Amino acid sequence: MPNILLILSYLAKAAGFVATLNAIPFVSPTTGVVIFFVASLLKDTVDRIGDFLDQGKPDWRS
């Protein structure tokens, strides 16, 4: 399951980055920033909740 989260997070961040560069004509750079932010926030939130439910404490990964 963690591998799926990492892959989806990577894909969303990459899509947001490409949209931020204005490389996709029909997507505004603002939308790219929002996609990147939401992907980062969602990944960190799911990681913290999963750590708490798994062991009751956060795993501090680098």
Backbone CA torsion sign across 47, 50, 54, 55: positive
CA pair distance 59, 53, nearest whole angstrom: 11
Provide block-wise average pLDDT over 10 residues at a time, the chain (62 residues).
Answer: 73 84 81 84 83 73 52
- pLDDT, residue 62, reads 44
Domain residue ranges in the chain? 2-55
Model confidence, pTM:
0.66
- pLDDT, residue 61, reads 59
Find all residues with CB under 8 Å of 52, minimum gap 6, and list them: 58
Q: How many CA atoms lie within 13 A of 38 on its CB side?
A: 11
